[in-house]
Amino acid sequence: MSISNRAPQVTNAALWEWLKVGYEVPHGPSYPQSPNDKDFFYNETLRIYAQYDQSEFTWVNLGPGAGFHKGNLPTGTNTIELHDSKSDNFAYLFVVYNPDDPPAPLLMTDQGFLVKKDLAVGGFINSIQGALWLNYGLVGRPILSSPPCIEAMSSGIQYPSGASLPPDPEKGQLFNHSGTKKMWNGSSWITRNFSGYYDTIFLFKSDGISPAHLDLGNLTAQGAINFYDDNVRFYRDANNLRVQTPGGAGLIVEQNLWCNALAVNTSAGITGALSASSISSSGVIHGGGGSGDAFKVGDDIYIVDVDNANRLSLQGAQSRTQAGIQFGSGGMWLYRDSAYLRCSSGFVADGTVAVGTYASGGTGSAVYFNSSHQLCQGTSLMVYKTNIETLDDASWIYSLRPVTFDWKDDKDAQLFGRQIGLVAEEVQPIAPLLTFNDVQTGKLQGVIYEKLAVPMLVELQKLRHEVDELKTKLAA
């Protein structure tokens, strides 16, 4: 069929394949037996390019083109051949038809395309074979193995600088004014941060002033990332990511920050949650700014700011009314038990234990110190006693000297006033069972006043017996 007015049809997907470095047009001595619609093929026997037309079940001849080479595009009879007779080089301009939605013809060339001044593009600019260069003058070229990239101008060319601003600037013109970086916005010179070289890519909106947005996937920075004009920057220091914030500025992360290690030389403020396997600080760690959860340890316990001066609250994650502290691995627990604070084992106080309330009623028993200095209740059960004998005489009680006295400690003397009692040193030789000693030093400590009731009961019973005998004699 005639192809004099027909261009090759290339889909977007096929177009990218044609532009890839190293892509070879399928070729062979005869056409494939089961082609797909719009497949290209170079027939080595006929020495022509062809494209398969599914609607007519035939291969359409596109002409001999420029020969079979890697990366060459098929060129039909619509080709314009450009010949440089001095170097004997050729270039071809041709049209391919893109049937994708929306369909459009494409003007293509098999060589490079250089524009000395402006290039206006209504659609996209794509680079498949290498770099997309943005230059002020051509200073080199990428090699075929170059990765896709955007390469800015060589840093060897500086922006214009001087002590006086240019008299007739163009909008967007940059100038280094005695060390201060300026840009002409169309009506005045404004301060603008740029590196001073052509190795900087600037993204501005159409007004030439407002910064535009850059949407990236992964970003690899070989140097520092700077923000605005105050030298706030991210940069790598050895194996660490360092944030330089002159003037005491901070780093704010509004959502989540994940890192294996985080070192902060001054302060770190976190308004949300902080999750870390370990936290080390040479200063103060503050949690919370008012009433509410300050720290969560694991999945079990909260350290809570109850918004009450000088107080700290522990609350369980499973039950906010429960919490406890364990001392040492496998050690005792201090925890809340209903309305009480309970210790799972013993409790030793080297100083004084003071009780701030007293019972106004009810029943109870005396509290004693045992030989281990443990507080315990008194008991009179027979099950705890042995060698039980009747006490028949306690006449020694009449040898005890009751006294009145004042405590030597001024505070106790003022608090308790004049006192009555016994002197332990006088009681011990007479009734040692009424005194007690320190279990560690063996020194005399005091009188067990509550035991005085027993000898007094003995003597009272003796008096009652004598009274009964006198009554019997008088009655006779």
**pLDDT digit string, tens, across residues 386-408:** 999 999 999 999 999 999 999 99
Does residue 386 belong to any structural domain of this protein? no
What was the pLDDT predicted at 83? 81
Asked if 36 contacts 20 with a C-beta cutoff of 8 angstroms, the reply is no
Does residue 383 belong to any structural domain of this protein? no
Does residue 75 belong to any structural domain of this protein? yes
Domain count, the chain: 2
The sign one gets for the Cα dihedral 458, 459, 462, 464 is negative
What was the pLDDT predicted at 406? 94
What was the pLDDT predicted at 264? 67
Does residue 276 belong to any structural domain of this protein? no
Residue 50 sits in which domain range? 12-109
Residue 438 binned pLDDT confidence (cut-offs 50, 70, 90) = confident
What was the pLDDT predicted at 61? 78
What is the strand order of the sheet 40-43 is part of?
27-28, 40-43, 48-53, 58-63
Residues ≥6 apart with Cβ < 8 Å to 338: none
CA 410/CA 421 separation, integer angstroms: 19
pLDDT in tens, 221-245: 777 777 665 567 777 777 777 777 7
Provide mean pLDDT across the span 135-151.
47
pLDDT in tens, 261-277: 666 666 666 666 666 66
Does residue 119 belong to any structural domain of this protein? no
What was the pLDDT predicted at 316? 78
Q: How high is the mean pLDDT of the chain?
A: 74
CA 334/CA 164 separation, integer angstroms: 77
pLDDT at 323 over 90: no
Asked if 235 contacts 225 with a C-beta cutoff of 8 angstroms, the reply is yes
Among 77, 92, 109, the domain boundary falls at 109
Among 89, 109, 129, the domain boundary falls at 109
35 or 147, which is more confident: 35
**3-class state of residue 40 by DSSP:** strand
Among 109, 138, 170, the domain boundary falls at 109
CA 318/CA 62 separation, integer angstroms: 77
CA 407/CA 141 separation, integer angstroms: 103
Lowest mean pLDDT of 16-30, 38-52, 59-73, name the range: 59-73
**Dihedral Cα 259, 264, 268, 274, nearest 10 deg:** 30
320 or 74, which is more confident: 320
Lowest mean pLDDT of 147-156, 201-210, 287-296, name the range: 147-156
pLDDT in tens, 98-136: 666 666 667 777 677 777 777 777 776 766 555 566 554
Provide mean pLDDT across the span 447-454.
91
**Residue 159 carries which side chain, given as an amino acid letter?**
Y
Residue 307 binned pLDDT confidence (cut-offs 50, 70, 90) = low
Residue 420 binned pLDDT confidence (cut-offs 50, 70, 90) = very high
Does residue 442 belong to any structural domain of this protein? yes
DSSP string covering 199-218: S----B-TTSSSBPP---SS
pLDDT at 431 over 80: yes
Does residue 300 belong to any structural domain of this protein? no
Does residue 320 belong to any structural domain of this protein? no
